Every structure is written in structure tokens, then in C-alpha cells.
Amino acid sequence: MYGNAYVENTGNQNSLTAGEDPVKLAEFEARIAAGEKIEPQDWMPKEYRRQLIRMIEQHAHSEIIGSLPEGTWITRAPGFRRKLALMAKVQDEVGHAQLLYSACETLGKSREDMINDLINGKSKYSNIFNYPAVTWADSAVIAWLVDAGAIINQLTNSKGSYGPYCRALDRICAEESFHLKYGHDNVVFLATGTPKQRQMVQEALHRWWPPLMHFFGPSDKISQHTETLMKWKVKMASNDDMRQQFLDMYVPKIWDLGLTVPDPNLKKNESTGKWEYTEPDWEEFKRVINGDGPCNKERLAVRRMAEEKGRWVRNAILKKDAQYVAPLA
């Protein structure tokens, strides 16, 4: 659910290619199969465009809203060095949103429309950011593990077929390694500190575990729809595969610090090589993503306020005769 293609329950599962010119469609699919990238001026199926707009836009919103829970701790970060590092990370995340908005605009949706759909609640963003960063340790867990999840998602998507999105993701991934190291450093510092610091980070980890298990979204339904999105390289891996990858890379690191996660059933099945876990509470996931989470209202209200209070600045330097042209690539 970060930059994730997901299947809508429109009822019409086979309609992704309905009404498309079969010759152009075949050429388009052959080009993708040969590993070529699709550029904004190229012919593309309507559904390819629509699915990408939704996915990239949602990813952009996730970056911008995602900087809010961490931003909570900028003024109270312990020590000047951590304050500077956190500010740099938050700036990176806002920059990621800018890159992604531009990539999405090449598909024909203006940035104004995307911002409006965000503050009206029409577009979604990653559900995990509807939870609060209660302590400094929460911000450490976010920077380490939420960013770890984001990196898995972004590296996967960067192998996709749409040129502008892939290029934005390459830039983004290059910056993420700092976030991950910074987050890990903060978690390790607390986990190897005083009993009180250890307790803080342990409690934060317990708070963030359920939303982390939700992060990649529910298991994908196997449908013709999903198959088409995979063939078009819009969707690059199943949600479960990405979740497995996350568990495989990070659970051993968590356990290594002597920390625990709140799932007694979590273990690696050595014969299948897969992680087993308690099925996450998808009812809660649905409830929160549809608006009823601890911070949904605050996140959108803060975003709306930023647009509202920044308007006079934008207006003061607006060129009256300026004409909008979508970014090139």
C-alpha cells in the first residue's frame, strides 16, 4: 500500500483491455516483454495509465504524509546531531513526493488535482502514517522499519515498465540508504542503552508491529486483473512476497538485539523457507484506511492548513499569464 497496484472490486475483472486496439496493445505488450520502458508520449492502454496514476499518486501522498509522524519529533529530538539528521530525512521525504508528483503528472493529472484529491480524502496514502509516533523511540522505529518496508517496495517497483516512475524511484532509493542507517542507528542506540531506553524501543516496536504487517497490503487475489498488471509490469511482486522479504531481512536483526515482536506464532519454517505469522487484522486495516484511524483527521487537517497558509506566498509570486504544461519525462 505504499506505491502499490491493487485490485479494485469493480466487479468487472476482465475489462483491463476492453476497447483497446489489439494491434497497438500487442506492440505495447511486446515492448514491455522485451524489457523496454514506456515513455509519456507512447501509446498505452487506458487502464495502464489509470492504474499507474493511482499508484504513483498514492506513493507521492505517502511520502508527504509520511513526513508528518516523524516531523512530530524534530523539535524534541535528543541532541543537535539527531535533530539535523531528522530534518534532513524529512526534507528527503518531501522531495520524494515532489519527484513522484512530477512522474505522475506526465500521465496527465495535474499536481493541483492530486493535492485536492489528497485533502478531500479521495486519494489514499499509506495506512501506516495514520498511527502516531508517541515517543522518540517510535520515530526511530519508523525510520528503520517503515523505511525498510518502503525500500523493498520501491526497489521492486523501480524494475517496472513506466520510465518516469522508474527514474524517480532510482533517485529515491539512493537517498533511502541514509534513512535506513539513521533509523537503525537510533534503534540500536536505545536497545543497547539504559533499561529505560530499552523499554522505550521495545514498546515502540510492539506499537508499530501490526501496522508494519499491514504495510504491504492483504494477500493478492489471483485474478486475470492481477495477471495483466504483472504482465504490464505495473505490479512487480505480490504483497505476500514483499512481506516475506521484509520478514526475512529484518526479523533476525530485531531478534539479534534481544527485542521481541508481539506475535508468538512468528517463525521461519525451515522446510519451506517461508515465514509463518498470525494473520494480521485486516478488518482494522480496512477501518483505518477508510478514515477511522488514530491520526487520519490530523494528517489531512495539517496538510490542508499548509496549503491554506502557504497560499499568499504562492499567489504573491504567481505569473498571471503562465500556462500549465505537463513535465516532459
Partner 1 sequence: MIIKSLDPRITRAGIDDESKDGIQQPMDQWHTYEVFQQKKRGTHHVHVGSLHAPDAELAVLFAKEQYARRGQCVNLWVVKTSDVFTTEYEDEDIFATTPEKKYREPEVYKVMDRIQAYKAKQNT
Helix (H) or strand (E) holding 317: none
At closest approach, how far in Å is the CB of 178 from partner 1?
9
Contact (CB, 8 A) for 93 and 146: no
122 or 274: CB nearest partner 1: 122
Which of Fe ion, partner 1, none lies near 105, with the C-beta cut-off 5 to 8 A by kind?
partner 1
At closest approach, how far in Å is the CB of 175 from partner 1?
7
Which of Fe ion, partner 1, none lies near 185, with the C-beta cut-off 5 to 8 A by kind?
none
120 or 290: CB nearest partner 1: 120
At closest approach, how far in Å is the CB of 172 from Fe ion?
6
Residues lying near Fe ion in the complex (CB under 5 A): 63, 93, 96, 147, 176, 179
Rounded (5°) CA angle 60-5-249: 85
67 or 226: CB nearest partner 1: 67
Could you tell me which of 110, 128, 109, 149 has the C-alpha nearest to residue 62? 128
Contact (CB, 8 A) for 136 and 203: no
Name residue, grid cell 521484509. Answer: 246
Give 274's strand partners: 269
Which of partner 1, Fe ion, none lies near 147, with the C-beta cut-off 5 to 8 A by kind?
Fe ion
CB crowding 79-99: b at 16 or more within 10 Å, else e: eeebeebbeebbebbeebbeb
At closest approach, how far in Å is the CB of 229 from partner 1?
23
Query: Can you say how many angstroms the Cα of residue 124 is from the centroid of all Cα atoms in its chain?
Result: 11
Residues lying near partner 1 in the complex (CB under 8 A): 39, 41-42, 71-72, 75, 91-92, 95, 98-99, 102, 105, 110-113, 115-116, 119-120, 132-134, 167-168, 171, 175, 297-298, 300-308, 311, 314, 317-319, 322-329
Which of Fe ion, partner 1, none lies near 17, with the C-beta cut-off 5 to 8 A by kind?
none
33 or 249: CB nearest Fe ion: 249
96 or 235: CB nearest Fe ion: 96
Which of Fe ion, partner 1, none lies near 80, with the C-beta cut-off 5 to 8 A by kind?
none
Name residue, grid cell 496514476. Answer: 53
CA-to-CA dists, residue 91 to 9, 86, 87, 106, 136, angstroms: 36, 8, 6, 23, 18
196 or 309: CB nearest partner 1: 309
At closest approach, how far in Å is the CB of 17 from partner 1?
21
At closest approach, how far in Å is the CB of 66 from Fe ion?
7
At closest approach, how far in Å is the CB of 163 from partner 1?
11
Which of partner 1, Fe ion, none lies near 96, with the C-beta cut-off 5 to 8 A by kind?
Fe ion
By residue count, the chain amounts to 329
43 or 282: CB nearest partner 1: 43
- 106/127 Cα distance (integer angstroms): 26
At closest approach, how far in Å is the CB of 319 from partner 1?
6
For 176, residues 6+ apart whose C-beta sits below 8 A from its C-beta are 147, 150, 151, 154
Which of Fe ion, partner 1, none lies near 219, with the C-beta cut-off 5 to 8 A by kind?
none
Query: Can you say how many angstroms the Cα of residue 45 is from the centroid of all Cα atoms in its chain?
Result: 25
6 or 136: CB nearest partner 1: 136
CA-to-CA dists, residue 71 to 80, 140, 282, 295, angstroms: 15, 12, 28, 14
- Can you state the angle between helices 147-157 and 163-191, rounded to 10 degrees? 160
